[in-house]
Each structure stands twice: as C-alpha cells, then as structure tokens.
Amino acid sequence: MLIFAFKLLKIMSQQIPKTKEEAFAQLDAMLSDEDKTIVARTDAVSFHFTLGILIRNIWINQQNKADVRQLAQNFGLDPEFFHSDDLSSAIIKAYQEHLLAQKS
C-alpha cells in the first residue's frame, strides 16, 4: 500500500483538477483496473486515510482558494462553507458512481 501511495502522490501532484471531469480523468489514469474495481466496490469511508488523505493534501490543501471553491462547487458542495474531508469524500463517492456507471 505504501508504494501505491507514493505512485499516486507523484501523479496527483503534476496537475491539480478543477472539475469533476479532470478529477475523474486523473484518477482513471493513475489507478489500475484492479484498483478501480476495489474503489468501486468498497465503502468510501475506507479510503479516508489512503486515497482521501492524498486528495486532501495534494488537490485540496495545496490549491489556491478560488480553485478549491470551484472544485467544491463542481462536486455539489457550498463553495464558501465546506471542510476538506467533505470534499475528498464527495470526490471519492462521485468517482465510485462514475466507475459503476461505466460498468453498466
């Protein structure tokens, strides 16, 4: 799992997404088919301290506030009042729905 985290860290830090489509494209590019299956079938809460922490630390906490607000709004959150945990959770849950829709 540690190697997986470092692989994600390297890829995620290259370009920070501002939209759902950009976030999904980056997640699609960095995750193997096996990883995508695990993400799609596992409760989103299970990723809080793995994929969620990478999303928070690299995509959310490192962006300028305007970009973070735009990203939050793209994931259905109030761009003025949200917590980074809420946004990372919304990204993971939306990505799970994206993966499941692809399989249908």
Q: What is the pLDDT of residues 61-95, one digit of tens each?
A: 876 788 888 889 999 999 888 899 999 999 999 99
Q: Kindly calculate the radius of gyration of the chain based on its CA atoms and give it in whole angstroms.
A: 13
Tally of domains in the chain: 1
Rounded-to-integer distance, Cα 80 and Cα 37, Å? 33
Query: Which among 73, 75, 67, 103 has a CA at the least distance from the CA of 91?
Result: 75
User: Count H helices, E strands: the chain?
Assistant: 6, 0
In the structure, what pLDDT confidence band is assigned to residue 14 with cuts at 50, 70 and 90? low
Quickly tell me which residue has 């997640």 as its tokens.
27
- What is the residue range of 8's domain? 2-103
pLDDT for the residue 36: 93
What whole-number distance in Å separates Cα of residue 87 and Cα of residue 24? 14
